[in-house]
Structure formats: structure tokens, C-alpha cells
Chain A
Amino acid sequence: MRWTEAGLAMALAGFGGAFGQAARPAAPQAAQPSESMATATQPQTETHFAVVLDAAHGGSDTGARLGNGALEKNLTLTMAERLQELLRQQGIVATMTRRADVDVSALTRAEVANHAQAAVCLVIHATATGSGVHLFTTSLAPAGGSGTGQPVTAAGPRILPWATAQAAYVTDSLKLESELDAALVHAEIPVTMGRASVAPMENLACPTVAVELAPLAPGNTTRGRAITDGRYEKAVEGALAAAIGSWRTDRKEQ
């Protein structure tokens, strides 16, 4: 993706986050735009570890038909709600981009995520094709001169092109994907990893992974399970919650 393709629409990285900072009376740097914007790009502090769960589709957008009348929009919402509860039990606050069967635009989802200054953004999908859990990170190339994909340096740019905001978080997103992969494999759930271009991932200013649940195909070591199998779903949700907990611990130690 070339920068020129990002168009003229520019947005502050976590622009909502910058405003969120401004709303906090205890944040002295809120009055200084540059510092508040820097905070917006580096939200992973001990006191602020937010997670955003984006249950894909909803309302008139049903998503994939998963068999036996199950729709992707319902499964993703149920999964997100249960994952939110598992995270709450670990003391982690998770924000949902939708809480009901309603249409939510990709723009609104990205605004919610960026406003939360999240340390983890999970975009939850489901499909009737393939096997196990598919993890996807953005197909954007990492941004930044160092090639690290970090949101540049402490003194670096704090304005990200809206269309390619995720490019600044590619490295962190890959690390998060690796953490999720390890937890899912530990739970004996087959995982495939890839890169994809799916809304609203590219607009998110946070480490982002799309988690796509697929039925479990029978294999040498695994039993076949339907996508709507409650035990299978719980195993996946448990692994995701464990990975996010581990990610939080890693961030604290850094």
C-alpha cells in the first residue's frame, strides 16, 4: 500500500483517545496536544490496559451462514460477550464495539476502538470453511523508518493516515498474534495464521488481530466439532482470555 493511496483523509492516531485524555482531569499533559497524542499511541501502561472486542457484522449484515441456521453475526456477538466476562474475571476491562444485533459501520467500530486507547483489539469473525481458528493481521506493510512497525519514536509523528493507521502497529499485532497462537495451540486447537485486508482492521490504532472461528475438522489428534459446539467455543474463548492475560503480564514486565 502506498502512502498516496491513503487519500487525504487523515486522522489522529487514537484521536478519540486524545480527547479521552483531555476529559481526564488528572492528566496534566492533556492540555499539551503533542504529549496527549503521544500518549494515544502508547497506551499500554500498568494503570491502563484496555481491550476492544469487535463482534463483526450485525443487524442487516448477517455475515456468513454457518449451517443449522446459525449466523456469523450472532455467534460473534455471543463469543465477544463471553470473552468480555472472562476478561472481567481477570480484572481486564473490555469494550465492545456492539452489544446488540444492530448495524455498526466500520468507521464507528474504529472510532470506538481508537477512543479506548486499547492495548489489544480483537476483531471476531466466524466461517463455515476451514478448520480450527484462523488468525489474521493486517496486510499493510509496517510503517516507520526503522521498519519496526512501532508508532515511531517518542518524538516521532503522532498523526497517522486513517486508511493505514494499523501500519504503525504491525509488529505489535504480529507479537499479539503469536501470543494468541501459543495459547490456542496449548489448548489443542489447530491454528492457521495469515494476513488479510478486512475492515476495520486497517483503521485501528492498536495491536490488532482478527480471530476467525471455523469448525474443527477431525484430524490425527483432534475430534471433529461443529462451529456451534459449546465446548469448542469455550475452549477457544478460554485460550483467547489466557493469551490476553499473558500479553498484559508481558507489557507490565517491559
Chain B
Amino acid sequence: MISRAHKLLFGLLLLACVAMAAVLIRLRNRAQDRLQEQAAAAPSMQTAGVPPTEVTLYVPNDLDDSLTGVHEDLALPQDASAEAQELLANLVAAFRAPGSSHPLDVANGVNEVYLMPVPKAAGETSDPGQMAVVDLSGALVSAQPSGIEPETLTLLSMMATLHANMPAITEVHFLVDGQPHATLAGHADLTRTYLASEANPTPNPEAAEGTR
């Protein structure tokens, strides 16, 4: 026969276990988020000791469908793939900044950028350049507002930023978490390979730096 006091004690202990589990899960999630944010914000090991260079990030504006060049001094890695990834990481950070003209709340938007030579067409003598395969994160796709304009602006800003700072990149293809994906968020086609020059903003003296 179990006494009432024991039953009560058992119930309280069970309740305490559940509460502690909930608290632990929450603390773990918080710690994970904090670590991810620190990893995104901290300079990578590859940039240690590298002097900063001026780069241009093309930041979209949803209201007027434009791309505006923003100059920043960044310490970029020597490796070209890492450099491309760093450029896009900083661009995505601009999307996330308070008061962003293209709000996209995501900490890690690009998993990896792979660079590969574009095969020469028959009879082609000049260097066709490189293709950047940009592996977007699922988190970016989830955070991306749905619509032709916002999705296209996200892609164009990435292409323009890559092409402006790494002119050897002539083509860009997008993956999501390493896999082909039909669209970014229901509209912009991710199955095709884009010419990086498609996003080349033309100078507009009336605008801050450039527009589509």
C-alpha cells in the first residue's frame, strides 16, 4: 500500500522532472542560437591578418525594385570560394540589419560557394570565366518573402555582388542545402543557370550608386 504522501511526493518529483527537461531544452536552444550568431559574426580563421579591401555589396530595395551599391571594407580570405562565401555572408547580414530595405531575417543564408570553370563553347577563344554554385541554406529559403520581386531581388543582389567583386564569375547557379530546388519561395526559378551579367546594375546618377 502506497501512502498518500508518497503518491504526492512522486507526483511532485515527476512534475519537477518535466519542468527541468523543458528548461534544459530551452537553454540548449538558446546556447545553440548564440553560438550560431557568434560564428556568423566572427571573422573566419582564413581572414586573420589579411588587410581589409573595399568591396561593393548590392543591397536591394523592395519599394523601388532597385539595387544600391554599398561600399564596405572587408578582410577577405585568399581562397576564391571562401571569398565569394564571405561576400554573400556580408550581403545577407545587410538584409538582416535593422531598417533593411529588403528584410530577410536569417543568420546563415549561404552554406557554401563552389567555383568551377565554365566549359568553352566550340570555337570560343576567350576565357568564359567561372560558374559560382551558391548553396543557399534552407533557413534563407524559409525566411524569404514570397513574390516575384522579392525573390528576384535576392538572387540579383547575390549575382551583382559576386560579379562586381569577382569579375571572373560569369555564371551563377543556386542550390538549396546541396540539392536542386525548383524556386526560391514559389516564384524565382532556381533550375536554370543565370548569367552574372544579368544582374549588372547600370549606373544612375540620381540614385546612390546603381539601379536595376
Give A residues with C-beta under 8 Å from B. Answer: 1-2, 4-5, 57, 61, 63-65, 72, 125-131, 134, 136, 139, 192-199, 202, 210, 212, 214, 217
Find out whether the CB atom of A214 lies under 8 angstroms from the CB atom of B189: no
Shortest distance from the beta carbon of A190 to any chain B beta carbon, whole Å: 9
Measured between beta carbons, the chain B residues less than 8 angstroms from A128 are 145-147
**Complexed CA–CA distance, A64 and B186 (Å):** 8
Alpha-carbon separation in the docked complex, A131 to B192 (Å): 28
The answer to whether the Cβ of B64 comes within 8 Å of any Cβ in the partner chain is: yes
- Given contacts A134-B149, A210-B148, A212-B148, are A125 and B187 in contact (CB under 8 A)? yes
* B148, A198: Cβ atoms closer than 8 Å: yes
A129 and B65 within 8 A (CB): no
Q: Are A63 and B146 within 8 A (Cβ)?
A: yes
Which residues 144-178 in B have Cβ within 8 Å of A in the complex? 145-150, 152
Question: Across the interface, which residues of A come within 8 angstroms of B62, CB to CB?
Answer: 129-130
- B65 near A194 with CB under 8 A, answer yes
B152 contact set on A, CB distance < 8 A: 136, 194, 196-197
If A125-B187, A130-B63, A134-B65 touch, whether A196 touches B148 (CB-CB below 8 Å) is yes
User: Are A65 and B198 in touch, CB under 8 angstroms?
Assistant: no
Q: How far is the CA of A136 from the CA of B195 in the complex (A)?
A: 18
A134 close to B63 (CB less than 8 A):
no
Give 11 new A-B contacts, CB below 8 A, not counting A1-B192, A5-B193, A192-B64. Answer: A1-B195, A63-B186, A64-B146, A129-B62, A129-B145, A129-B150, A130-B62, A192-B65, A199-B183, A212-B148, A214-B149
Are B189 and A197 in contact, with the CB atoms below 8 A? yes
| B124-161 interface code vs A (CB 8 A; 1 in, 0 out) | 00000000000000000000011111101000000000
- Chain B contacts of A217 at CB under 8 A? 63
Chain B residues, Cβ within 8 Å of A214:
147, 149
Residues in chain A near residue B150, CB distance under 8 A = 127, 129-130
| Cross-chain contact of B145 among A5, A64, A202, A210 (Cβ < 8 A) | A64
* CB of B188 within 8 Å of the partner chain: yes
Contact with A along B168-212 (1 / 0, CB 8 A): 000000000000000101111100111100100000000000001
Q: Check A196–B147 contact: CB distance below 8 A.
A: no
Binding site for A on B (CB under 8 A): 62-65, 121, 145-150, 152, 183, 185-189, 192-195, 198, 212
Given A1-B195, A131-B63, A197-B192: A136 touches B186 (CB 8 Å cut-off): no
- How many A-B pairs have beta carbons closer than 8 Å: the answer is 82
Chain A residues with Cβ below 8 Å from B186 are 57, 61, 63-64
Give the contacting residue for A194; candidates B149, B192, B194, B195; CB below 8 A: B149
The prevalent SS among residues of A at the interface is mixed
Question: B64 contacts which chain A residues (CB < 8 A)?
Answer: 192
A198 touches B193 (CB 8 A): no
Residues of B within 8 A of A61 (CB): 186
Residues of chain A with a CB closer than 8 A to B193's CB: 5
Select B149's contact among A63, A197, A202, A212, beta carbons within 8 Å: A212
6 contacts between A and B (CB under 8 A): A2-B121, A4-B121, A127-B146, A192-B149, A194-B212, A214-B149
Contact A127 B145 (CB under 8 A): yes
For the complex of A and B, 7 pairs with smallest distance between CB atoms:
A127-B147, A64-B146, A192-B65, A197-B189, A129-B150, A196-B152, A130-B62
Residue among B121, B145, B183 with most chain A CB within 10 A: B145
Per the bound structure, the CA–CA distance linking A214 and B65 in Å amounts to 12
The answer for the CA separation of A176 and B135 in the assembled complex, in Å, is 36
Chain B residue nearest to A213 (CB atoms) is B147
The answer to whether A212 touches B188, judged by C-beta atoms less than 8 angstroms apart, is no
Q: How far is B63's CA from A65's CA once the two chains are assembled, in angstroms?
A: 18
- What's the minimum C-beta distance from B174 to chain A, rounded to whole angstroms? 11
Q: How far is the CA of A58 from the CA of B187 in the complex (A)?
A: 13
Closest residue of A by beta carbon distance from B195: A1
Q: Give A74 Cβ to nearest chain B Cβ, in Å.
A: 14
Query: For the complex, what is the distance from the CA of A240 to the CA of B63, rounded to whole Å?
Result: 21
Shortest beta-carbon distance, A41 to chain B, in Å?
24
A63 to B148, CA, bound (A): 11
CA distance A4 to B171 in the complex (A): 15
